[in-house]
Structure 1
Protein backbone atom coordinates (compact mmCIF):
# COMPACT_ATOMS: atom_id res chain seq x y z
CA UNK A 1 0.00 0.00 0.00
CA UNK A 2 1.41 3.41 -0.94
CA UNK A 3 0.92 6.53 1.10
CA UNK A 4 -0.18 9.70 -0.63
CA UNK A 5 0.95 12.91 0.99
CA UNK A 6 -1.71 15.53 1.39
CA UNK A 7 -0.78 19.22 1.12
CA UNK A 8 -0.88 19.52 4.92
CA UNK A 9 1.74 16.75 5.22
CA UNK A 10 4.34 18.41 3.02
CA UNK A 11 7.25 20.25 4.58
CA UNK A 12 8.63 23.51 3.24
CA UNK A 13 12.35 24.22 3.37
CA UNK A 14 13.63 27.19 5.40
CA UNK A 15 14.39 29.00 2.11
CA UNK A 16 10.78 28.59 0.93
CA UNK A 17 9.50 29.84 4.29
CA UNK A 18 11.83 32.84 3.90
CA UNK A 19 10.35 33.51 0.44
CA UNK A 20 6.81 33.32 1.85
CA UNK A 21 7.69 35.82 4.60
CA UNK A 22 9.13 38.24 2.07
CA UNK A 23 6.06 37.86 -0.14
CA UNK A 24 3.79 38.40 2.87
CA UNK A 25 5.64 41.67 3.40
CA UNK A 26 4.65 42.79 -0.07
CA UNK A 27 7.88 42.11 -1.94
CA UNK A 28 7.70 41.31 -5.64
CA UNK A 29 9.50 38.32 -7.15
CA UNK A 30 12.26 40.64 -8.35
CA UNK A 31 12.68 42.22 -4.91
CA UNK A 32 12.78 38.77 -3.27
CA UNK A 33 15.40 37.64 -5.79
CA UNK A 34 17.55 40.69 -5.09
CA UNK A 35 17.29 40.29 -1.31
CA UNK A 36 18.21 36.59 -1.47
CA UNK A 37 20.82 36.96 -4.23
CA UNK A 38 19.08 34.47 -6.52
CA UNK A 39 17.46 34.80 -9.93
CA UNK A 40 13.87 35.93 -10.36
CA UNK A 41 13.15 32.65 -12.17
CA UNK A 42 14.35 30.78 -9.06
CA UNK A 43 11.83 32.70 -6.96
CA UNK A 44 9.09 31.78 -9.42
CA UNK A 45 10.17 28.12 -9.28
CA UNK A 46 10.12 28.19 -5.49
CA UNK A 47 6.59 29.61 -5.59
CA UNK A 48 5.42 26.82 -7.89
CA UNK A 49 6.69 24.25 -5.39
CA UNK A 50 5.27 26.20 -2.42
CA UNK A 51 1.83 26.37 -4.05
CA UNK A 52 1.90 22.67 -4.92
CA UNK A 53 3.04 21.62 -1.44
CA UNK A 54 0.43 23.77 0.30
CA UNK A 55 -2.36 23.05 -2.17
CA UNK A 56 -2.66 26.79 -2.87
CA UNK A 57 -4.21 28.42 -5.94
CA UNK A 58 -1.88 31.45 -5.96
CA UNK A 59 0.71 33.22 -3.84
CA UNK A 60 -1.88 35.05 -1.73
CA UNK A 61 -3.58 31.75 -0.96
CA UNK A 62 -0.17 30.22 -0.13
CA UNK A 63 0.53 33.04 2.35
CA UNK A 64 -2.90 32.58 3.95
CA UNK A 65 -2.39 28.82 4.28
CA UNK A 66 1.10 29.34 5.73
CA UNK A 67 -0.29 31.77 8.32
CA UNK A 68 -3.13 29.44 9.32
CA UNK A 69 -0.77 26.46 9.56
CA UNK A 70 1.77 28.41 11.61
CA UNK A 71 4.52 28.18 9.00
CA UNK A 72 4.82 31.97 9.11
CA UNK A 73 3.66 34.21 11.92
CA UNK A 74 1.95 37.61 12.07
CA UNK A 75 4.91 39.18 13.90
CA UNK A 76 7.03 38.45 10.80
CA UNK A 77 4.85 40.75 8.71
CA UNK A 78 5.52 44.49 8.82
CA UNK A 79 2.20 46.31 8.79
CA UNK A 80 2.91 49.81 7.71
CA UNK A 81 0.48 52.57 8.66
CA UNK A 82 -1.79 53.65 5.81
CA UNK A 83 -0.50 56.49 3.65
CA UNK A 84 -2.04 59.89 4.18
CA UNK A 85 -4.30 60.97 1.30
CA UNK A 86 -2.69 63.63 -0.85
Structure 2
Protein backbone atom coordinates (compact mmCIF):
# COMPACT_ATOMS: atom_id res chain seq x y z
CA UNK A 1 0.00 0.00 0.00
CA UNK A 2 1.25 3.46 -0.93
CA UNK A 3 1.24 5.63 2.18
CA UNK A 4 2.70 8.75 0.57
CA UNK A 5 0.86 11.92 1.46
CA UNK A 6 1.17 14.52 -1.25
CA UNK A 7 -0.36 17.96 -0.94
CA UNK A 8 -1.23 20.28 -3.82
CA UNK A 9 -0.48 23.91 -3.00
CA UNK A 10 -1.32 26.91 -5.20
CA UNK A 11 0.86 29.93 -4.54
CA UNK A 12 0.69 33.51 -5.86
CA UNK A 13 4.16 34.97 -5.18
CA UNK A 14 3.49 37.88 -7.56
CA UNK A 15 0.02 39.32 -8.11
CA UNK A 16 -1.63 37.51 -11.01
CA UNK A 17 1.04 34.77 -11.26
CA UNK A 18 -0.21 31.45 -9.88
CA UNK A 19 1.97 28.35 -9.47
CA UNK A 20 1.06 24.83 -8.36
CA UNK A 21 3.45 22.85 -6.16
CA UNK A 22 3.23 19.21 -5.09
CA UNK A 23 4.69 18.64 -1.63
CA UNK A 24 5.44 15.34 0.09
CA UNK A 25 5.37 15.01 3.86
CA UNK A 26 8.56 13.53 5.29
CA UNK A 27 8.04 13.20 9.02
CA UNK A 28 7.37 16.71 10.28
CA UNK A 29 8.73 18.39 7.16
CA UNK A 30 7.28 18.99 3.71
CA UNK A 31 9.45 19.08 0.62
CA UNK A 32 8.50 20.02 -2.94
CA UNK A 33 8.53 17.11 -5.39
CA UNK A 34 7.05 18.77 -8.49
CA UNK A 35 5.98 22.26 -9.54
CA UNK A 36 4.65 24.34 -12.40
CA UNK A 37 7.26 25.34 -14.96
CA UNK A 38 5.75 28.80 -15.30
CA UNK A 39 2.97 31.04 -14.00
CA UNK A 40 -0.70 30.52 -14.73
CA UNK A 41 -3.22 33.36 -15.09
CA UNK A 42 -5.73 32.22 -12.43
CA UNK A 43 -5.93 30.22 -9.23
CA UNK A 44 -8.34 27.84 -10.96
CA UNK A 45 -5.98 27.18 -13.87
CA UNK A 46 -3.13 26.43 -11.46
CA UNK A 47 -5.36 24.15 -9.36
CA UNK A 48 -6.52 22.17 -12.40
CA UNK A 49 -2.95 21.82 -13.71
CA UNK A 50 -1.83 20.64 -10.27
CA UNK A 51 -4.63 18.08 -10.13
CA UNK A 52 -3.55 16.84 -13.58
CA UNK A 53 0.02 16.46 -12.25
CA UNK A 54 -1.32 14.45 -9.30
CA UNK A 55 -3.27 12.25 -11.69
CA UNK A 56 -0.17 11.60 -13.82
CA UNK A 57 1.72 10.52 -10.68
CA UNK A 58 -1.15 8.25 -9.69
CA UNK A 59 -1.36 6.75 -13.18
CA UNK A 60 2.38 6.00 -13.03
CA UNK A 61 1.78 3.77 -9.98
CA UNK A 62 0.38 1.11 -12.29
CA UNK A 63 -2.20 -1.62 -11.78
CA UNK A 64 -0.66 -2.93 -8.53
CA UNK A 65 -1.84 0.13 -6.60
CA UNK A 66 -4.81 -1.83 -5.26
CA UNK A 67 -8.19 -0.30 -4.55
CA UNK A 68 -6.80 3.04 -3.43
CA UNK A 69 -8.49 6.08 -4.98
CA UNK A 70 -6.37 7.53 -7.74
CA UNK A 71 -6.72 11.21 -6.88
CA UNK A 72 -8.73 12.73 -4.11
CA UNK A 73 -9.02 16.47 -3.88
CA UNK A 74 -10.70 18.93 -1.59
CA UNK A 75 -11.46 22.35 -2.94
CA UNK A 76 -12.80 24.88 -0.47
CA UNK A 77 -16.13 26.02 -1.96
CA UNK A 78 -15.38 29.54 -0.71
CA UNK A 79 -12.26 29.76 -2.91
CA UNK A 80 -12.51 31.76 -6.12
CA UNK A 81 -11.26 29.30 -8.72
CA UNK A 82 -11.51 31.81 -11.53
CA UNK A 83 -13.34 31.31 -14.81
CA UNK A 84 -14.33 27.75 -15.72
CA UNK A 85 -12.41 27.91 -19.01
CA UNK A 86 -9.18 29.50 -20.15
CA UNK A 87 -9.68 31.74 -23.17
Larger relative contact order (CA 8 Å, sep ≥ 6): 1
TM bucket, shorter chain:
under 0.3
Q: What's the TM-score once normalised by structure 2's chain length?
A: 0.26
Q: What's the TM-score once normalised by structure 1's chain length?
A: 0.26
More strand per residue? 2
More helix per residue? 1
